[in-house]
Amino acid sequence: MKDNNVIELSAIRTTCQSCGLYQLCLPMGLDQGDMDKLDKVIKRQRKIERGDHLYRMRESFTTVYALRSGSVKTYSTIENGQEQVTGFHLPGELLGLNAVSTKFHTDSAIALETSSVCEIPFDRLENLSHEIPSMHHHLLHVMSEEIQHDHCQLMMIAKMPAEARLARFLLSLSYHFSQRGFSSTKFNLSMSRNDIANLLGLAVETVSRLFSHFQDEGLLTVERKSIEIHDMDGLMNVTTKCASHPLPGKSPSSDSLS
């Protein structure tokens, strides 16, 4: 907390190069010199507790956050006070970049559990990306990914029935956990049912019912925050049950599932 700058900097330098997440949150192919430049730009490493905000809607945009550990929820607040969850974020993700155009944040980011982030002043990051072409490309890359993700999300809410949305959400979580070296079948949800329902455009009760359904079907076991997936293929089948033009050969077991 009260370290002086020298200690901070050296600690961070170690961090970026040794951080197991650098493949996720930083552009690859940086040489030693570039890595040093990047390290110098990163302000400090902050620890945040559950419920702490990384940034809030309408605050001026100065900093980009790289999530190191824990998980973060981003959400927007609408005129009438309603909240729209726009995403859950796991270690390695870059947060805040979507405020580039407005210069102030249009969403808020709140920690779902004890987490730690690296703070990167955006103006310095932008200057750095003038020197390092691959860094520039990486910023575009990250934003492009977010757009694609949002389009998927859009498609899901617009076209898929409730059960397919929740199944897809769980599979997505599973995939992202496995990518980070955790179990793809057994994990804990750091977000509430309310947050899940909000993200998926559903009512809390619907989510709760669907969890129970899935459990009854033997697809998974759920107990509060703890999830264990038993039948990955079965879950995937649920996500594809939203075919509008039913093919000639309909899956025979779909009746027993629905």
Partner DNA sequence: CGAAGCGTTGAGTGCTTTCAATAGTTGTGG
Partner DNA sequence: CCACAACTATTGAAAGCACTCAACGCTTCG
Binding DNA (rule: CB under 7 A), the pick from 225, 228, 236, 254 is 225
**Residue with smaller CB distance to DNA, 32 or 244:** 244
Residues whose CB is less than 8 angstroms from the CB of residue 149 and which lie 6 or more positions away in sequence, other chains included = 87
Binding a second copy (rule: CB under 8 A), the pick from 56, 58, 141, 225 is 141
| Packing angle, helices 133-159 and 162-179, rounded to 10 | 150
User: Under a CB-based contact definition with an 8 Å cutoff, are residues 227 and 221 in contact?
Assistant: yes
| Packing angle, helices 133-159 and 122-131, rounded to 10 | 120
Q: How far is the CB of 139 from a second copy (least distance, A)?
A: 6
Binding a second copy (rule: CB under 8 A), the pick from 10, 144, 194, 253 is 144
CA distances 81 to 106, 146, 148, Å, are: 14, 25, 27
Binding DNA (rule: CB under 7 A), the pick from 21, 38, 207, 235 is 207
Query: What mask of x and - would describe binding to a second copy in positions 187 to 206, judged by CB under 8 A?
Result: -----------x-xx-----
For residue 134, give the 3-state DSSP assignment.
helix
Q: How many CA atoms lie within 13 A of 127 on its CB side?
A: 10
Query: What mask of x and - would describe binding to a second copy in positions 227 to 246, judged by CB under 8 A?
Result: -------------x-xxxx-
User: Under a CB-based contact definition with an 8 Å cutoff, are residues 197 and 209 in contact?
Assistant: no
User: Under a CB-based contact definition with an 8 Å cutoff, are residues 66 and 99 in contact?
Assistant: no
Q: Other C-beta atoms within 10 Å of 61: how many?
A: 18
**Residue with smaller CB distance to DNA, 60 or 240:** 240
Residues whose CB is less than 8 angstroms from the CB of residue 79 and which lie 6 or more positions away in sequence, other chains included = none
Query: What mask of x and - would describe binding to DNA in positions 119 to 158, judged by CB under 7 A?
Result: ----------------------------------------
Kindly report the length of the chain: 258
Site for DNA in 27-86 (CB under 7 A): none
Site for a second copy in 77-96 (CB under 8 A): 78-82, 84, 86
Query: What are the residues binding DNA (CB under 7 A)?
Result: 161-163, 192-194, 201-209, 211-212, 222, 224-225, 244
Query: What are the residues binding a second copy (CB under 8 A)?
Result: 76, 78-82, 84, 86, 97-102, 106-107, 126, 129-130, 133, 136-137, 139-148, 150-151, 153-155, 157-159, 198, 200-201, 240, 242-245
